[in-house]
A and B are shown apart, each in its own frame.
Chain A
Amino acid sequence: MPEPTTPAQYVLLPMRGLRAKGTASTPETKEFLRSMTEGSRDLATAGGPRVRVQVIDSIGADGAKLVEVAPDSAAAIRALQPGLRLVPVVYYAPATKARERVVTVAERPGAAGSITLRVVSKTGGDPVAGAIVVAFTDFSTNTGAEGVTDAEGNVSLALGAAHVKLERLYVYPNTAMWSLLKKRVTVSEGSEVKLHPLDLDYTDALRHYYGKKGSQDAGANVKVAVVDTGVDPHPDLVVDGGMNTVPGEDPKDFGSNGEPHGTHVAGIIAARGTPPSGIRGVAPGVTLRAYRVFAQGAGGASSFAIAKALDQAVADGCDLINMSLGGGSPDPVLQAAVEDVRAAGSVCIIAAGNDGQPHVSFPASDDMAVAVGALGHKGTFPRDSTEIDDVQAPFGKDKKDFVATFSNTGPELDLIGPGVGIISTVPGGYAEISGTSMACPAVTGVAARVVASMPTLGEKRDAARSAAIVTAVAASAKDLGFSPVREGHGLPEPPK
């Protein structure tokens, strides 16, 4: 049984402003706020236990409430009243200067003391080019060397000796292979590292929960936006259109910025291939649109580009907006853009972040977002892949289920999805990647199938429409046996 958590203070307030006025709030929202007079009450939730809410103070009858609730009840309250925001009370402290840090520069590769490793496929011994190799001599202090393999699969690592005992050796191939983690291994000049090739018919975590060969029509008539690094042409993908919102770049260039991230995310939602020659996403029938917000090359994503992409996705009629991105401090502009999406009848589904912290990163932490954490399942990746690092207790009702070590958790979390060792499309092929970035599109795919099954969903694009979507997706979720701060409502399941 999940352990009870200590109540914390939150402000419960309308989507816009401090009072439920005008068209921004539904009659149900106004009525609910009026019913929340000072004192304690137990609220019935959809399919779950009642949650206790203590109303401490109020700004008028239809205004914001200061409430005390258990953090693990936050997701249930948001699902119960999707037209309201539930924001943790923040107490500000004086700003202090960050402590300086010293980072020692590694030796130059190719210098005396460098070791060349060769990375090859376990099947056939072909060289693996473009793999990132990270060799730790001391993992606790992040000491070691790293490099990228050349066309022959070779990488020169400045490790300072001819024979080196590594605490850990990580290899991250960019395509076609599983990653590799070796612990306590001694390497010397010419040491060979062998990777498992990807099998597109393999049951990874995504296919463990959602199957490999769902209907090609799943998610039909639902329009989904991928706000990311762009989506490249791929035999398994059909991109309906999109826009590049990076200032100064061509608006029509919504293909990849050179990073595979967005193409991988798109495949998890909407790939239309059939194993073993291709892969299938969770909702291959959706109309997929790509909005590139990351600048060309290895550039970051500007808050301006992201907010503009959200506006454009709404203007293009997208029902769901996948945002496998986050970090930085809360930004009022981005917050307003996410709120405007909800007011326009659409929903932002956002990755919770990969910091392994007990709080969800922004913008997933915004109350108008659906925040998604990452789940894994033992046995859905090779035992010597880097994914073994992501396994941690506690385990779920199914003892092979775990919340990934990297996944941010907290009361802001709404749902959890498979995000450990996920095989999907990348420019020129297929790759496995882990992250809440992968869990997020898995949930978006299921959400698309839920939306497709809602014939009564109004044509009118307003806050009531987006609230109905959020409520239906939350209601589809299955409790996996973790506490709500770890899994939110749980794992959403597509309609039968």
Chain B
Amino acid sequence: MAKQRFVLRFAGKRAKPAEDVERIRSVPGATMLDESSARMLLVESHEQPLRDLLESLPGWVVAPEQVIPLPDTRERIERGPR
């Protein structure tokens, strides 16, 4: 399986625990893409080892990163005339 980008969010009022962040950083093959948020991380990783680790780290929510397109109501052409 190819690597994916995952968003990790630490639930709770306090900031993400530094020791958790270090353990996530050490997941084999994982790359930390953004850790600027107080509660979140953006990580590129294989899914299974990341989820395996998070099972032992309470309070984290994880989901593949989604990219939402800009909304509009314009009509569009899907095919050219024959």
The residues of A with any CB-CB pair to B shorter than 8 Å are 103-107, 132, 134-138, 141-146, 158-161, 164, 168, 170, 172, 229, 247-248, 251, 259, 261, 294, 298-304, 306-308, 311, 324-329, 331-334, 336-337, 351, 353-354, 386, 390, 406, 433-437
Q: Which of B55-82 contact A (CB under 8 A)?
A: 61-63, 65-82
Give 16 A-B contacts (CB < 8 Å), ordered by A residue: A103-B78, A134-B76, A144-B81, A145-B77, A160-B82, A251-B36, A299-B67, A302-B42, A302-B66, A304-B34, A304-B40, A308-B40, A331-B66, A351-B71, A354-B71, A354-B72
Q: Which of B22-74 contact A (CB under 8 A)?
A: 33-34, 36-40, 42, 61-63, 65-74
Contacts of A327 in B (CB 8 A): 68-69, 71
Whether the pair A145, B81 counts as a contact (CB closer than 8 A) is yes
- Candidates A137, A159, A328; contact of B68 at CB < 8 Å: A328
Contacts of B8 in A (CB 8 A): 333
Whether the pair A160, B70 counts as a contact (CB closer than 8 A) is no
Give min CB distance, B42 to chain A, whole Å. 5
- Candidates A104, A299, A337; contact of B9 at CB < 8 Å: A337
Known: A106-B79, A247-B33, A304-B42. A294 touches B62 (CB 8 A): no
Whether the pair A306, B68 counts as a contact (CB closer than 8 A) is yes
Give min CB distance, B82 to chain A, whole Å. 7
Whether the pair B9, A336 counts as a contact (CB closer than 8 A) is yes
Known: A160-B82, A336-B9. A303 touches B65 (CB 8 A): yes
Whether the pair B80, A160 counts as a contact (CB closer than 8 A) is yes
Known: A137-B81, A304-B42, A332-B61. A435 touches B69 (CB 8 A): no
Residue of A nearest to B43 (CB): A304
A248 to B42 Cα, complex, angstroms = 11
Contacts of B71 in A (CB 8 A): 261, 324-327, 351, 353-354, 435-437
Give min CB distance, A395 to chain B, whole Å. 20
**Is B11 an interface residue, CB under 8 A from the partner?**
yes
Give min CB distance, B55 to chain A, whole Å. 15
Give min CB distance, B4 to chain A, whole Å. 13
Whether the pair B70, A143 counts as a contact (CB closer than 8 A) is no
The residues of B with any CB-CB pair to A shorter than 8 Å are 7-9, 11, 33-34, 36-40, 42, 61-63, 65-82
- Candidates A170, A251, A333; contact of B75 at CB < 8 Å: A170
A302 to B63 Cα, complex, angstroms = 12
Give min CB distance, A177 to chain B, whole Å. 15
Contacts of A333 in B (CB 8 A): 7-9, 40, 61-63
Residue of B nearest to A138 (CB): B81
Whether the pair A170, B66 counts as a contact (CB closer than 8 A) is no
Top 3 closest pairs, chain A to chain B, by CB: A106-B80, A142-B78, A104-B79
Give min CB distance, A166 to chain B, whole Å. 10
Contacts of B66 in A (CB 8 A): 302-303, 328-329, 331, 334
Residue of B nearest to A374 (CB): B73
Known: A106-B79, A158-B80. A307 touches B9 (CB 8 A): yes
Give min CB distance, A402 to chain B, whole Å. 15
A104 to B77 Cα, complex, angstroms = 10
Residue of B nearest to A113 (CB): B81
Whether the pair B80, A261 counts as a contact (CB closer than 8 A) is no
Whether the pair B72, A301 counts as a contact (CB closer than 8 A) is no
A299-B67, A333-B7 known, 8 other contacts, Cβ within 8 Å: A103-B79, A136-B75, A137-B81, A141-B78, A229-B70, A248-B34, A333-B63, A386-B75
Contacts of A437 in B (CB 8 A): 71-72
Contacts of B62 in A (CB 8 A): 332-333
Known: A311-B38, A336-B9. A302 touches B77 (CB 8 A): no
